[in-house]
Amino acid sequence: MQAYVDDIRSISGENPFESMMSRFDHAAKLLHLNPDLYKVLRVPNREFTVYIPVFMDDGQIEVFTGYRVQHNFARGPAKGGIRYAPDVTLDELRALAAWMTWKCAVLNIPFGGAKGGIICNPTNMSRSELERLTRRYTAELIDVIGPERDVPAPDLNTDEQTMAWIMDTYSMHARHTVTAIVTGKPVALSGSRGRREATGRGLLFVINEAVEKLGLKISQSRVAIQGSGNVGGNAALLMHEQGYPVVAISDIHGGIHNSRGLNIPDLLAYLAARQTLEGYPGGEAISNHELLELDCEILIPAATENQITSQNAGRVRCRILAEGANGPTTANADAILERNGVFVIPDILANAGGATCSYFEWVQDRMGYFWKEETVNERLKDVLVASFHDVMRYAETHSVNNRIAAYMLAIDRVAYVTQLRGIYA
């Protein structure tokens, strides 16, 4: 363990893990965190690497590498998504698992943090290969996941179907149906109403609070969104419905811009039909880089990590940066944004609607009683609005930016319960 700690001591702040660690260190220092707690909270609780043999459709066996990082259990079972991608790394999962711990603590929901992933290229795999991969990965982790231990959810390239396979595999081993083992399941399998839109809806709630705090007007607050998937697409639709002019949106190939505002329902129908925004006639084409630097009031990066770095942060012109993605801004970019007066709603608060609704799903599964969508949305609003104001209070009391305030609030909460429980050392 010492070597690991030494390893991460010198950090530059330009990749997700380094960004997370540098903000953690900054916040811990301002909190005067007890040195023993600092040592414990700075590293994940445990990490698993599994090698997953899978019969491919051609009859050959392929062995895939999978991971699950369980960062912290102090406040409850670990919670976090599973991603399938060729470039999954343990380092990235460590950052994402820690962010889940801090996110759940900012929301004050009774979960710790985890994240998992499998190195694979899901676009080249058949549905049955993906099913076998998912089931064997679940079987490998069967002793360390569970409703009281660690509750997975979808992430990049995994979805409701992946969660259904995990739930079924886990249930087969348990010899009874265990719905609370995963969240983000289909509603028919005891998923929660409103889960699909929850991250976009959460963004809308916290942005509304920020707009009011800064004295802006919804009808004059132009919105640019990088990414048009679950988070970006739903945020675009909900913001459009609320009366915000959404002037730009993109996918991985590039974006569409219209300074008078885009017709979002029409654009999303185009995207659903063609799987690309290329050629959409309602605006002019722009690149993803140009989108991040557009003159607008609200910028929502909702695609992937490391989009706003020390290289382009000085050209970001929005008034509010609401981080839909996890880790879209590097630690080195933070200081530049702060100098330029950008009001950052950090990822661990801004995109926390999904985690909150996952908590609601877990609660509903354990009660066996399912709420109406309006109830889910009302409770989602209560949690996010309260968390937004908790972070604002920390920022004001400690004279720090919103991101460091969110980390301080989260670390304070996790440190407090760790101290109450005592360290079993």
What DSSP character marks residue 124?
A: G
Which of 303, 344, 380, 409: binder of ligand NAD (CB under 6 A)?
303
Q: What is the CA radius of gyration of the chain?
A: 21
In the complex with ligand NAD, the residue whose CB is nearer, 77 or 354, is 354
Confirm if 296 and 216 have CB atoms less than 8 A apart: no
Which of 155, 293, 297, 365: binder of ligand NAD (CB under 6 A)?
155
In the complex with ligand NAD, the residue whose CB is nearer, 82 or 400, is 82
228 binds ligand NAD (CB under 6 A): yes
Strand-pairing partners, residue 119, are: 65, 85
Choose the binding region for ligand NAD from 138-146, 170-178, 299-307, 398-406 (rule: CB under 6 A): 299-307
Smallest separation (angstroms) from ligand NAD to the CB of 134: 17
Confirm whether 115 is a catalytic residue: yes
Name residue, tokens 């996918």. 251
- For the window 57-96, what string marks contact with ligand NAD as x by the rule CB under 6 A? ----------------------------------------
Q: How many residues bind ligand NAD (CB under 6 A)?
A: 22
Q: Pull the structure tokens for residue 153.
A: 């959810």
d(CA 16, CA 87): 13
Apex 376 CA angle, 395 and 413, nearest 5: 35
Nearest partner of 312 among 299, 324, 302, judged by Cα: 299
Confirm if 352 and 106 have CB atoms less than 8 A apart: yes
List C-alpha distances in Å: 241 to 109, 244, 248, 296: 29, 7, 15, 18
- For the window 340-359, what string marks contact with ligand NAD as x by the rule CB under 6 A? -----------x--x-----
Residue nearest to ligand NAD (CB): 229
197 binds ligand NAD (CB under 6 A): no
Strand-pairing partners, residue 285, are: 256
Smallest separation (angstroms) from ligand NAD to the CB of 308: 12
* Interface with ligand NAD in residues 2-41 (CB under 6 A): none
* Interface with ligand NAD in residues 305-324 (CB under 6 A): 324
Q: State the catalytic residue, choosing from 115, 213, 372, 381.
A: 115
Give the containing element (helix H, strand E) for 153: strand 150-154
In the complex with ligand NAD, the residue whose CB is nearer, 62 or 186, is 186
d(CA 148, CA 78): 8
Confirm if 106 and 384 have CB atoms less than 8 A apart: no
229 binds ligand NAD (CB under 6 A): yes
302 binds ligand NAD (CB under 6 A): yes
Smallest separation (angstroms) from ligand NAD to the CB of 251: 4
Smallest separation (angstroms) from ligand NAD to the CB of 280: 13
Three-state secondary structure along 317-375?
A: CCCEEECCCCCCECHHHHHHHHHCCCEEECHHHHCCHHHHHHHHHHHHHHHCCCCCHHH
Smallest separation (angstroms) from ligand NAD to the CB of 46: 22
d(CA 177, CA 381): 31
Confirm if 277 and 252 have CB atoms less than 8 A apart: no
101 binds ligand NAD (CB under 6 A): no
Type of residue numbered 263: N
Confirm if 384 and 202 have CB atoms less than 8 A apart: yes
Smallest separation (angstroms) from ligand NAD to the CB of 316: 15
Q: Pull the structure tokens for residue 96.
A: 């994402």
Smallest separation (angstroms) from ligand NAD to the CB of 424: 32
Which residues bind to ligand NAD, rule: CB under 6 A? Answer: 155-156, 199, 226-232, 250-252, 288, 302-304, 324-326, 351, 354
